[in-house]
A = this chain, B = another copy of it.
């Protein structure tokens, strides 16, 4: 089944290449903006009441993938769907970022792990009841063999 989407906005970020870009919002202090295209701006009403939002983005530099990869935080091959690697069959990035401000169609966000120019597919409010989980088993990451906050160029 083929599915076609259109970007609703674009990320403005200090990061222009993968190497050195934070691997997750939780490991980033970077501030940037999400420019929502004006035709969608009305949908941003009420968003400013939320401390965090979820950005679903098209990771546009991911044009290929392998089903087993060595993730940034490990030294062993892992199944792709057990990792957060960017190169996926459908390269959708999920970033939970802090919402620092809303002005018209511009969202200021903290904790960016996205490249400049990344197309935005959807914006959702982060809701602890829906999205927070006890996380009582987290697989290979429980004993992550490598520590880093930033990407290298393995998925370039």
Task: State the A residues within 8 Å of B (CB).
Answer: 1-8, 24-26, 36, 40, 42-52, 54, 56, 58, 67-68, 78-84, 88-90, 92, 94, 96, 98, 119, 121-142
Copies in the complex: 2
Residues of B with C-beta under 8 A to A139: 46-50, 125
Contact B135 A81 (CB under 8 A): no
Contact check, A88 vs B50: say whether CB atoms are below 8 A apart: no
Residues in B whose Cβ lies below 8 Å from that of A58: 1, 3
Is the Cβ of A56 less than 8 Å from the Cβ of B94? yes
CB distance from A105 to the nearest CB of B (A): 11
Residue A96 contacts which of B50, B98, B131 (CB distance < 8 angstroms)? B131
Known: A43-B80, A47-B79. A138 touches B125 (CB 8 A): yes
The answer to whether A124 and B3 touch (CB under 8 A), given A26-B130, A135-B52, is no
B82:A130 contact, CB within 8 angstroms: no
Bound form: Cα–Cα A2–B4 in Å: 7
- Inter-chain contact A24/B89, CB cutoff 8 Å: no
Task: Using CB atoms, name the residue of chain B closest to A76.
Answer: B46
Q: Which residue from chain B places its CB closest to the CB of A132 in the assembled complex?
A: B132
Q: Which residue of B lies closest to A79 (CB)?
A: B45
The 5 A-B pairs of least Cβ separation, nearest first, read A49-B139, A45-B79, A128-B135, A46-B82, A43-B80
